[in-house]
Amino acid sequence: MRAQPTAKSARCTACRIPSRRVHGFYWRSLGDVACFGRPILLLIRIRRFRCTIPECPRRTFAETLPGVARLPARQTDRLRSVHRAIGLALSGNPGARHAATLGVPISRSTLLHRVCSSDADPIPPVRVLSVDDWAWLKGSSYGTILCDLERRRVIDLLPDRSADLWRRG
């Protein structure tokens, strides 16, 4: 599938000033999620813009694809998320076999790399925190459980109820 961004301008990656002066273009290929069970390759026409600010050290820059793909990734963010989810659920070989049946083939080693990669979705800031007791052994040993109440997720389990952990950060 071929596509191209439609924005009239792009921000310079050095000075952040928008430019409309197109210098050229190149094709960037990105693997994407499957369509009707078939692997999809996006060919995106990326424009290279000329920065018009004389003081800027960058003469030309390529437009980015925020929310679609990071540089220099060869897959869309959503395909990377799908692979990461499959890898977390099934791990290496079973995950690679399942991914192939879903039309998003990936090798076992790349799937494991997706799970361990540092570009995993960042944890959003917690706005509503719950702090409560949590029983390691009911009646005798308690820890502390921290929950994000908005997302209904456990953030951490602390080994005891001491306030020292909070002061240590």
Q: Which is nearer to Zn ion, 2 or 16 (CB)?
A: 16
Of residues 10, 42, 51, 99, which one binds Zn ion by CB under 5 A?
A: 51
Any contact of residue 12 with Zn ion (CB under 5 A)? yes
CB of 6 to Zn ion, least distance (A): 22
Stated length of the chain: 169
Least Cα distance to 121 among 90, 80, 66 occurs for 80
Burial grade of 55 (CB within 10 A; 0-12, 13-18, 19 or more): exposed
Q: Where are the beta strands (DSSP E) in the chain?
A: 2-3, 10-11, 18-19, 22-35, 38-50, 60-62, 129-137, 141-148, 153-158
Binding-site size, Zn ion (CB under 5 A): 7
Any contact of residue 100 with Zn ion (CB under 5 A)? no
CB of 61 to Zn ion, least distance (A): 7
Residues within window 58-97 making contact with Zn ion, judged by CB under 5 A: 58
CB of 155 to Zn ion, least distance (A): 40
Q: Which span sits near Zn ion by CB under 5 A: 33-41, 44-52, 68-76, 152-160? A: 44-52
Least Cα distance to 49 among 28, 27, 22 occurs for 22
- DSSP-derived letter for residue 169 is -
Least Cα distance to 159 among 138, 131, 129, 135 occurs for 135
Of residues 1, 14, 43, 123, which one binds Zn ion by CB under 5 A?
A: 14
Q: Which residues bind Zn ion (CB under 5 A)?
A: 12, 14-15, 51, 53, 56, 58
